[in-house]
């Protein structure tokens, strides 16, 4: 999104990355009690109010991606409720760095990810691809069968929801959005950008489970 021009209205700025960097940097260094690790803000509703809907559609063992996570406590609420793998991305590098520090000891909450490249020594028990086929993605050796790790790299979860090509298609069982689509619709080229977001979200999940909390 453009960073060299500022929209004339506050709501239009919701679609711009510079706005969120500035907002999160200000909240972490502003007045009051809060350090960045203490500050949190949830759009619309907090997790306890929305949990029944998640329980209806997303089993706790599923791999979940939360887009536009911000400094919300929503993902923490999911983990406290028994969700074992909650991945979080945001367009703001400021908030991703803050959340990495805040949840560095919580293995269920992912704000930085170590991606592994696998080489199949025998036919994979899940995808049944032939020998020596490289697989890049999130699945563990236990999930993919007879594999050996070739290399690995760390993935920073600072990411634009319109372009999440760091993730393979079908990497997640479900995708959750709470306000990100609304923010994009406030910005420049809103319809085009919203379409890109929805296309990417659809590409990433395997079972077509999308939970979108919108205004």
* CA-to-CA separations, 181 to 28, 54, 105, 161, 215, in angstroms, rounded: 25, 18, 30, 9, 10
- What's phi and psi for 56, nearest 5 deg? -70, -35
Looking at every residue in the chain, the average pLDDT score rounds to: 76
Q: 23-62: string of b/e by CB count within 10 Å (b at 16+)?
A: bbeebbeeeeeeebeebbebbeeebeebeeebeeebeeeb
Tens digits of residue pLDDT in 163-172: 998 888 888 9
Q: At what angle do helices 93-102 and 17-29 cross, to 10 degrees?
A: 40
Mean of pLDDT values over 96-112 = 89
Confidence of residue 112 (pLDDT cuts 50, 70, 90): confident
The angle at the Cα of 136, spanning 131 to 141, to the nearest 5 degrees, equals: 70
Q: How far apart are CA 113 and CA 107, in angstroms?
A: 10
Q: Report the helix count and the strand count for the chain, using DSSP H and E.
A: 7, 8
Q: List strand residue ranges (DSSP E) for the chain, in order.
A: 63-67, 85-89, 109-110, 112-120, 134-137, 147-156, 174-178, 210-213
- Position 52 scores a pLDDT of 94
| Residue 68 backbone zone (phi > 0: left; psi -120 to 50: alpha; other: beta) | left
Residue 155 has pLDDT above 80, yes or no: no
**Whose CA is closest to 187, among 12, 68, 3?**
12
Question: What is the DSSP code (8-state) at residue 164?
Answer: -
- The pLDDT of 31-58, averaged and rounded, is 75
State the pTM of this model: 0.74
């Amino acid at each position: 999104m453009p960073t060299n021009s500022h929209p004339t209205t506050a709501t239009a700025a919701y679609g711009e990355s510079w706005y969120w960097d500035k907002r999160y940097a200000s909240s972490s260094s502003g007045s009051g009690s809060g350090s960045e690790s203490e500050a949190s803000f949830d759009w619309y509703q907090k997790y306890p109010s929305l949990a029944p809907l998640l329980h209806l559609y997303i089993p706790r063992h599923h791999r979940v991606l939360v887009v536009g996570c911000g400094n919300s406590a929503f993902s923490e609420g999911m983990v406290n409720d028994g969700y074992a793998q909650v991945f979080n991305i945001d367009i703001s590098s400021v908030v991703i760095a803050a959340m990495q520090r805040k949840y560095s000891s919580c293995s269920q909450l992912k704000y930085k990810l170590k991606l592994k490249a696998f080489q199949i020594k025998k036919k994979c028990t899940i995808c049944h691809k032939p020998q020596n086929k490289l697989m890049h993605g999130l699945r563990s050796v236990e999930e993919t069968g007879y594999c050996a790790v070739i290399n690995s790299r760390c993935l920073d979860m600072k990411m634009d929801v319109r372009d999440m090509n760091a993730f393979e298609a079908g990497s997640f069982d479900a995708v959750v959005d709470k306000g990100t689509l609304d923010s994009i619709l406030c910005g420049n080229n809103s319809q085009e950008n919203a379409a890109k977001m929805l296309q990417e979200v659809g590409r990433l999940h395997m079972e077509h489970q999308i939970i979108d909390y919108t205004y």
